[in-house]
Amino acid sequence: MGEKYGKGHHAILNKGEENEMEIFGYHTEGCRKTLCFAGYIFSCGILPLVFYWRPAWSVWANCIPCTLSEADVILLRTTDEFQIYSRKKVMWIYLSSLDSLGSISLTPDHPLITDEDYVINRAIIRPDLKVRCIQVQKIRYVWNNSAEQFQKVGCLEDSFTAAKIHLKFGSGLTREEQEIRRLICGSNTIDVEITPIWKLLIKEVLNPFYVFQLFSVCLWFSEDYKEYAVAIIMMSIISITLTVYDLRQQSIKLHRLVESHNSILVTVCKKKAGIQELESRYLVPGDLLSLSGNKMQLPCDAILLDGGCIVNESMLTGESIPVIKTALPNMGDTVPWKLHGQEDYKKHVLFCGTEVIQTRPTGSGTVRAVVLQTGFNTAKGDLVRSILYPKPMNFQLYRDAVRFLLCLIGTATIGMVYTICVYVLSGEPAEDVVKKALDVITIAVPPALPAALTTGIIYAQRRLKKRGIFCISPQRINICGQLNLICFDKTGTLTKDGLDVWGVVPSDRNGFQEIHSFTPGSALPWGPLCGAMASCHSLIILDGTIQGDPLDVKMFEATNWEIENCGKDFHIRGIPTQAMIVKPNQATCQIPMGIAILHQFPFSSTLQRMSVIVQEMEGDLMAFMKGAPERVVSFCQPDTVPSNFTSELQNYTMQGFRVIGLAYKRLETNHHITALPREKVESELTFLGLLILENRLKDETKPVLEELTSARIRTVMVTGDNLQTAVTVARKSGMIPESLRVILIEANEADESSPASVTWKLLEDRKPTGYGDQDSYINIREDDSRPRDEEANYHFAMTGKSYQVISQHFSSLLPKVLMNATVFARMSPGQKSSLVEEFQKLDYFVGMCGDGANDCGALKVAHAGISLSEQEASVASPFTSKTPNIECVPHLIKEGRAALVTSFCMFKYMALYSMIQYVGVLLLYWKTNSLSNYQFLFQDLAITTLIGITMSLNGAYPKLAPYRPPGRLVSPPLLFSVLLNVLFSLVMHMLGFILVRKQPWYSATDVFSACSLSKGNISRTTASPMISGKVGSDSFMSYENTTIWFLGTINCIIVALVFSKGKPFRQPIYTNYIFVLVLGIQMGVCIFLLFANIPELYQRMDLVCTPTLWRVYLVIMLAVNLILSLIVEEAIIDNRALWLIIKQSFGYQSKSQYRKWQRVVAIDPAWPPLNQTSYSDQLLRSARGESYSNPVFESHEEIP
C-alpha cells in the first residue's frame, strides 16, 4: 500500500518494538464524505455498522491517500500476522494557548523552542507555533518536521550522553520549559477510566453475533414465534449483563490499581525558582526530583543523578527484594547514556510504580533524579497498556469456526433458493416467501452457536479457580489443551526458594582447603574470606530486620555477624556517616570494630557478579567480589586460582549445589572511592574460595515432570543459574533421564582472528576429572565410542551466550538445535522471551511457568504463561497460581484439553441440531408446510438449550493422555463425524417422509383418518373448524409434520448422547449427573408424546395421531440411527490407531515445523556433530537459502 502512493504515504511506528505498526496517511475528501453519509441513511444504518467492524473500509471510503505530512487521518496496521487496522485522527496542539493563559509570551525565535536537541522543539511548526500529533494506545506521537516522521514524546531522548543529561537537567527546568513540555507531552498520569456502562453495552451489542441475534429475533416476532424470541432475548440480556459486569469490574480493578499514582506529592527543583512541592500529574520529562528519606511510590521513571537509593521492584520483577540503585556517572561525551559502561543502565533508573525504601545521599547533599519518562511511557504504564491492549490470539480453532459458519451460511443460501422456488411455484404471497426464506438462515446458522462454544471455557475457568488457578484471558484455556512444550524457570519454580549454606571451600595458592561447614559453634575465622561473606552483599536494615536477596541473607547469617546503619553520631576518619557497618556480634568477637561498606557495584544478571569497596575500622580499603565462579576467576590473578578449580567446581555443581565464587584485593588509600571505575576495582583480584549453597527440589517437581513426560509433553529448563547446576537439577528432576547423554553446545562470537564458531562436546557428568573448556568449567568427554543406534538419545545444553551467538550467526542451525535442547542456563530475561518465540516458530504450543522474577516477558509471549507469583508483575500473565509449585501445570493442561474437547462436542452438536432442523424444514417446505412455533420451541428451548447448558459440565479426566486432542475443526475425524451424522439424519428423515406417504391410512387432507379417535371428542376440546376431519390451509398439522418432528426431536437427543465424549480427555458421561438426568427426562417426555393419545396435548403441539405400529417404526428408525452413530463414533472417529494407519497408507506427514525438523535430524548421519567446531562462514555456504518461519499461533497438525 505504501509503495503505491510513494514513500511519504507510509512509515513504520515503533520500529523493532513489541507494538510495531505500519501507518498510512489519508486526507478527508468532502465529496466522498457526503456520499458515505447518504449511504448511512439509505442503508438504514447497516453501512456505519460495517465501517465500525472494518475501520479501514471507512478510511478508504471517506478519504484519499496522501503523504503523512499532509494527512488529517492516519490508518494504522499491526505488523504481526493479525494485520489489525485502526483509525486515528490527527490532532493539533497550539502553543498560543500558553499566551492566552498568560503563562509565557512565545515567538518563533524564542530560545526555549529553538534548541533542536529536543524532539518537542523539532515538532513545532513555525511561525504558527503548533504541533501535529496522534494518540495511539495511550501514547502521544508528534510529527518531527526535520525527520518527517511521527515520534514518541513523554520521554527524554535516548541519544543524550550521560554528561549532557547532567549538564541540561542537573539544575532542573524553568517554569516556562515545564509549561511547554506539559502542553506537548501531556500530563504524567496513567488514566484508566472506569468505562461507562452505556459504552460497554453499545460495544457488546454491536458484536456481529448479537446483531445476527437481533435479526433473528425480529424475524421470529414477525412470525409470531414470540416464546423462543423472548427466551433468546432473556438469554442474550443475561449474557450481555454478565459480560458488561465482568468488563466493568476489570475496569474498576485496573482503575484502583493506578489511581493513587496520579496524585503523589513530589519535590521538584526548579531552575532559578528553588524547591517546590507539586502533584505528580504535573511532572514532565526533564524535571529534577529531590528524594527525601521517606518511603514513596515513584510516579514516573527517573534517572538517578546524585546519591543512591534502595527500592522494592516487586511490581516489575515479582520478587520483593530490595534493589540498590546508583547515580549515573557524569562522564562519557560520545556514547548514549544507556551504553556508557559495562553495567546495565537500569541500575541508574528508578522505575514508576516501584517503592523507594531508603535514600542514600552523597555527603551532605540530597538524592536527586531527573524525570526520564511520564504517563504510559513508564514501566508501570507499559504494564497497564499490556493489560488494556493484549496481544490477540490466532488459535486455529477460532478461525476454523468462522470458516465453518461461512459454510453454514452457504448451505442456508442453497436452502433459501430452494424455498423461494417452491413457494413461488405454489403461488404463496411474496411476504410469506421472504419470511420462509429468511427462516432458513436462522435454522441453518443457529444464533446460539458462539455462546454454546464458550460454555466449556466458562466451566473450566470455574474449576481452575477452585484449584487456585486464576485466569485473565479465558480464551487461552482452549489453547492450553494444545500445549506440547513447557518451559520452566529453575529457582523458585522447580527448586525451593530458600537456599541453605552448605559450606565454604577456602582457597590458597596451594589449592583448595578442607570445606568449612557452618555448624553451631564453628564460626568462620576472621580473614578476607569471612570479610567477603560479611560485606559483599546488598542487604539493608528495614524496620529492624535484614532484607535483601535470599542468597545474600543466608550468606550473611552464616557469618554470625551483625549489620547496622551509621548514625549522625558516628565519627571515624574516612568513613561517611551514611555507610553501612557490619561487625561480629559479642559472642563471636574476633576483630574490634568491623567493616564499613563504602560503595557497591550492584549485582547484574548480565555481568553475573557484584562488588563492594569496604574499609576496616581504622584499617585498609579492600574490594570484594562475588558471583558466578567462572566469571569471578576471570578477574583473578591466574596464580591465585587453584589448579584443580574446574574439577572442584564440577564436583559440587554435579550434585546440584549452587556455587558462588569469592575474590578480593587491597586498594590504595589515596584514591577517592567514587572516582574508582569498576574496571579498575575488578581487576588483579585474589581468589578466595567457593561458597556452596544447597537448593533442593520441591517435592512436587519430580512427579509433575514424570506426568508430563509420560504424556509426551516436552519439558525445557530456562534458568539464570550455572550450566552444570542446571544439568544436574534436570537429571535429578527426571527432565533428562540418567541413561541419556548430555551434549554441551558452546558458541563464541566472531573476533579479529576468526569468525563466530559453535562446538559440540559430550558432557561426562559421572567421573569429574580434568579441565573443561572456556567459561563453563565442566568435564568434557573427548571421545565417542557409542554405536550409532544410541546417538538419538541425547539432550543439548547451552548457556544464554551460546544461544545468542547461534541465533545471530547460525540461524539455519537453530531449529535443529532446538529439537533436542533441554537446558538453557545463564539466560537473561530477553533471551527467555526470544527462546519462547523461537519454539513457537517451530509450531510448538509453548507454556511458560515461572515465579515472576525475570520471567514476565516470557510469560507474556508464551501461548500460556503461568505465574507462581501473586505480585503486581504477574498481572500481565494469562494464568496465576496461588499454589507456588508446578502442580498447576498438568491441571491447566487437563482443563484445557477438556474445554477444547467440550468446544468440539458442542460445535458438532450445534451443527447437527441445525442440520436436523434444516433437513426437516426443507422436506416440509416441499409440501408448503413447516414446523409450528411450539414444535420449534420444544426443540430449541426444551431440548437444545438445556443440552447446551449441561453438556459442558464434564470435568477433566484425571490422567493426561500421551497425545493431544485435535486443534482444528477441519480435521478429517471431526468433519467425517459431522458429515456421516448429517447423512444418517438426512436418510432417516427422507425415509420417514416418503414411507409415511405410502401408508394405507395416510391422507393429505384428513389428518384424523389414521386413528379411531372420534372427531366429536376433538370438537369438544377445541373450537376449531376441524369437525369434518379437514384442517385449515394455515394449519401445520399433517402426518409428514408429525413424523419429521418426532424424528428430528429425538435425533437431537441421540446426537447429544453420541457426541458427549468422555475418556481420555473428559470424565465419562455418567459422571455428569445433571446431563444424564436431562437426557433421561427429555427422552422420557418425547417417548411419552410419541405414544400418548391426549387430544389436548396433540392439538397444542400441532401433532396428529398415528397408528401404534407406525410409532414403533419411528422408534426402530431412531434406534438404528443411534446404533450406526455409536458404531461410527467408537469404531472409526475415536479409533486413533485406524487414523494413524490411514495417514501412513496415504503417506501423510505432519506439516508442523518441528515434525519436519525431527525428520531432518533423524536421517542426518552426521548429527549431532560431536567434537567438532563449525564456523559461521562455512555454515552459511552449506545452508544457503535454508530458512524457517511460520505464524506463531498456528499448528497444521491434524492428529498429534
Residues taking part in catalysis = 489
Which one-letter DSSP state was computed for residue 365?
S
- 742/650 Cα distance (integer angstroms): 15
Q: What is the rounded distance in angstroms from the CA atom of residue 118 to the CA atom of residue 284?
A: 13
Under the phi-then-psi rule, with left for phi > 0, alpha for psi from -120 to 50, and beta for the rest, what region is 770?
Answer: left
Element spanning 801, H or E? helix 800-809
What CA–CA distances, in Å, run from 682 to 351, 539, 600?
28, 21, 12
User: DSSP string spanning 1047-1076?
Assistant: HHHHHHHHHHHHH---TTTB--GGG-HHHH
Q: Is 672 exposed, middle or buried (0-12, 13-18, 19+ CB in 10 A)?
A: exposed
CA distance 172 to 182: 15
Omega before residue 520 within 30° of 0, cis: no
Contacts of 815 (CB under 8 A, 6+ apart): 841, 842, 1153, 1154, 1157, 1188
Q: How far apart are CA 144 and CA 123, in angstroms?
A: 4
As a whole number of angstroms, the distance between CA 902 and CA 1 comes to 42
| Residue type (1 letter), 622 | M
Q: Quote the DSSP letter at residue 13.
A: E
| DSSP reduced 3-state for 1031 | coil
**Which residues does residue 76 pair with via DSSP β-bridges, in sequence order?**
23, 86
Q: In this structure, are residues 358 and 325 in contact, taking their beta carbons and an 8 Å threshold?
A: no
Residue 38, burial from CB neighbour count under 10 angstroms (0-12, 13-18, 19+): exposed
CA 204, CA 196: separation in Å to the nearest integer? Answer: 13
> What's the rounded Cα separation, in Å, for the pair 309 and 246?
40
| Pair 858, 829: CB distance under 8 Å | yes
- Residue 304 parent element (H or E): strand 301-306
820 SS3 class: coil
AA identity, residue 29: E
What is the Cα gyration radius of the chain? Answer: 37
Helix (H) or strand (E) holding 370: strand 367-373
Phi/psi at 892 (5° precision)? -65, -40
Q: How buried is 155 (Cβ within 10 angstroms: 0-12 exposed, 13-18 middle, 19+ buried)?
A: buried
Q: Which three cell numbers stand for residue 264?
A: 503523589
Distance CA 707, CA 713 (A): 9
Please state, in angstroms and as integers, the Cα–Cα distance from residue 525 to each residue in 514, 515, 584, 686, 757, following that order: 14, 13, 11, 18, 46
Per-residue DSSP letters for 536-554? SS--EEETTEEES-HHHHH
Can you give the three-state secondary structure of 714-765, one letter per residue?
EEEEECCCCHHHHHHHHHHHCCCCCCCEEEEEEEECCCCCCCCEEEEEEECC
DSSP β-ladder status, 864-867 and 349-350: unpaired
CA distance 436 to 568: 92
Provide the grid cell at 934: 411450539
